[in-house]
Amino acid sequence: MEWYEFRRRRDGMIHALDGGLWMHRHTLHGERMAHLVSSDKHLLLDWGARHGMDPRWLQHKPLKDPRTGVRVEAWHWDLLGAKLPPREREPLDDVPGT
């Protein structure tokens, strides 16, 4: 249950919408945070259970697939503070397996 980061947002979205875990880091009001995104709700819930996340915190937000323009069911965790994992490796240049 490994998550990946990507240099390009589009590649991260494709990975997440294909059922993978995408760590999307950004800042909000000057605070570092990330969304852990996937179209696989059960995978996200499993990850959350392993990392002390309350299932009620999981957020539903359909995303537009950049390949088709069609909205796809997706969910994400908001990760900030102690819940924000450190960056352990460089972001990927493209989607694994492509």
Give the DSSP per-residue string, 18-79.
Answer: TT-EEEEEEEETTEEEEEEEES-HHHHHHHHHHTT--GGG-EE--EE-TTT--EE--EEEEE
pLDDT-derived band at 83, boundaries 50, 70, 90: confident
Name residue 33's beta-bridge partners.
Answer: 26, 80
Q: Is 65 within the bounds of a domain?
A: yes
Q: Is 89 within the bounds of a domain?
A: no
Q: Is 27 within the bounds of a domain?
A: yes
Considering the chain, what is the average pLDDT of its residues? 91
Q: Is 96 within the bounds of a domain?
A: no
Q: Is 90 within the bounds of a domain?
A: no
Q: Is 37 within the bounds of a domain?
A: yes
Q: Is 41 within the bounds of a domain?
A: yes
By residue range, what is the domain housing residue 22? 3-82
In terms of pTM, does the model score above 0.85? yes
Q: What percent of the chain has pLDDT over 70?
A: 90
Please state the rounded mean pLDDT for residues 84-94: 73
Task: For tokens 């088709």, name the residue.
Answer: 68
pLDDT-derived band at 74, boundaries 50, 70, 90: very high
pLDDT for position 95: 65
pLDDT for position 84: 81
- 61 in Cβ contact with 52 (< 8 Å): no
pLDDT in tens, 5-40: 999 999 999 999 999 999 999 988 998 999 999 999
Q: Is 94 within the bounds of a domain?
A: no
- In the chain, the number of structural domains is 1
